[in-house]
Amino acid sequence: MPRPFDLRSSGARRSRGWVAAGRALVVALGALTFGVLGLAFAVDRFGQRDRARRAPAIVVLGARVAEGGAPSGALQARAERAAELYRQGLAPLVVFSGGVGRFPPAEALAARDLALSLGVPPSACATEEGSHSTAENAAFTARLLRSRGLSEAILVSDPYHLLRARQYFWREGIRVHPSPALLSERNVHFADRCYWTVREAFAILLHPALWFAREPGPAPSPPAP
């Protein structure tokens, strides 16, 4: 004779199932949180170190242009850092990358104009005005550099941005030496620094293929005359 259906037993099993699922969700969220925070710490530590060295070019990554055409604080800090590196004699060419965002002009042009006011001569400047993302910054700038026979550059951006940007440039076959714009408002103000760094950690997690990019070898030496 079949046993009668026990509602209390069935309810208990469902309750235990929900408890187990809840525990698994808490564990997963905890692991994700600690993973993001750990990655954010690594992003921050990487970006605070200046790795600039003599190279054929300096590449400046774009940032927001404000209404009226003025560079944002982040873009200003990047352009100022590039001008400083140029004055130090670390590279003869400065490439400004970034297209038109919400307000014109192109980020590359706004950064270039600021660098010109800081003493970088027009003959030392080049612009890439079509990109609208870090991936496009790398792809379009790599094309410009290769057209000049170059495959190595100092890379200037906000500290939080440098790790992911480096991976994109490596993927394009460009060997880069990251140099942070430490005086950027996104780095100087603690709340902004935390926000942008954690945001960047999520951006990296969403693009896991970047971790397979490896540093290109040094450019071959020109043949002896």
Tell whether 119 is covered by a domain. yes
- pTM equals 0.82
Tell whether 25 is covered by a domain. no
Give me the residues of the chain with pLDDT under 50, please. 25-32, 222-225
Q: Please count the structural domains in the chain.
A: 1
Residue 81, pLDDT score? 98
Residue 12, pLDDT score? 56
Domain CATH code at residue 172:
3.40.50.620
Rounded to whole angstroms, the Cα distance separating 10 from 14 reads: 6
Residue 37, pLDDT score? 77
Residue 55, pLDDT score? 97
Rounded to whole angstroms, the Cα distance separating 12 from 34 reads: 33
Residue 13, pLDDT score? 58
Tell whether 154 is covered by a domain. yes
Tell whether 170 is covered by a domain. yes
- Using an 8 Å Cβ cutoff, are 60 and 111 in contact? yes
Count of other CB atoms within 10 angstroms of residue 171: 18
Residue 10, pLDDT score? 59
Tell whether 221 is covered by a domain. no
Residue whose entry in the numeric block shows the structure tokens 């604080």: 73
23-72 per-position pLDDT tens digit: 554 444 444 455 677 889 999 999 999 999 999 999 999 999 999 999 99
Tell whether 14 is covered by a domain. no
Quote the tokens at residue 31: 């692991």
Tell whether 21 is covered by a domain. no
Residue 217, pLDDT score? 81
Q: Which residues contact 106 (CB under 8 A, 6 or more apart)?
A: 62, 65, 98, 99, 100, 127, 129
For residue 161, give the DSSP letter: G
Tell whether 74 is covered by a domain. yes
Cross-strand partners of 120: none
110-126 per-position pLDDT tens digit: 999 999 999 999 999 99
Strand ranges in the chain using DSSP code E only, listed in sequence order: 58-61, 94-97, 125-128, 152-157, 175-180
Range(s) of the domain holding residue 151: 47-212
Helices 7-47 and 162-171: angle between axes, nearest 10 degrees: 80
Rounded to whole angstroms, the Cα distance separating 203 from 63 reads: 16
